[in-house]
Structure 1
Amino acid sequence: MTNTALVIIDVQRGFDDPAFGNRNNPDAEGNIAALVDAWHGPLVLVRHDSTEPGSPLHRGQDGNRFKPELDDAVPDLVFAKKVNSAFHGEADLHAWLTDRGITHIVLAGIQTNMCVETTARVGGNLGYRVEVVVDATFTFDLEDLTADQLARATATNLRGGGFAEIVSTKDVTDRWLRAPR
């Protein structure tokens, strides 16, 4: 499984700001930590550097830092982005993955229907086998849809559109715990 990378997207303290509103999946951070703990392949951490001066995700703000669940992570690549897709950041993720022979990516992080979904779509378009660990993501209510509705819609769009497989934390950790190290 050396051709597989775990990509953790925007797991930052700023998303705890009440201004984001109601969120779903209170187990997301625990599931992200379980993925990182079980993982023994390439690990990528992506951070969103907001260009909005008042944003809790703005570079230099405490909210721009990764959440404590990633404190013990030993990533192979860490970089920032200013847009939704991790494929459009300070590092050329596609080149980095290609140089290492990685053809399969497993995605988790924040927000399900924004940066995780966009990264999955771009990854699928680039020809990667993409898995989204939907129970290791969360999002927020948006307009007239709840966070749970948005997460279900994302899973349906990605699976139904052929962009990604939708998997659980248990699916991934069981597979990695059985894999030779």
Structure 2
Amino acid sequence: MDSPARGAWRPARALALTAVTVVLAASAHAAAGGMLPSLWALSALTVPTACVAVLLTRRRLSTPLVLGVLGAGQFLLHQGFAVLATDAHCSTSGTGHHQSIDACSTAVHHDPTSGMLLAHVLATLVTGLLLARGEQVLWALADRLDPVLPVVARLNLPVAPRLPRPPEPLPTRPRIVDVAVPVRRGPPARVRAAT
């Protein structure tokens, strides 16, 4: 088995870390009453998160590291959600100049409530512990299979004999059919009678 730090395992681990970080931040933010940005803005925040996850998954992730990454991701994504949702809200709110400025200033000075902070912390702890446990299980599996796989590869296990391939048919020539065609020589019968 390849090490979880390389091969197909690394992108899978990076994808899991990215998805958990972004989905956790968005769901905790929305559950606590925060506004989410548009799908495009959410995608723009996902790209740097994925880059960090790819860099981090080149080695084994410990439980404190996973919790730290998720905590930092929650904080940074919360700030990004607040800024990008504020921009979207400011561009569409109010009909008059003063209503728009009031709505934007209220949204910009939005302080996270204790409920939002608690939602982020609890979700980070629970999900971080689950993700760290999955990481430990994956590395333990790799450690257990690592000494076994080379031995299995060296064994001369009996292989079922291959059946011989049937011979390829010889190319066939087009068949020539002899048809008895009467051969007539000379002029037609009418012409002969007239002469």
TM over 0.5: no
TM-score, normalised to structure 1's length?
0.24
Give the greater-gyration-radius structure (CA).
2
Larger proportion of helix? 2
TM-score, normalised to structure 2's length?
0.23
Larger proportion of strand? 1
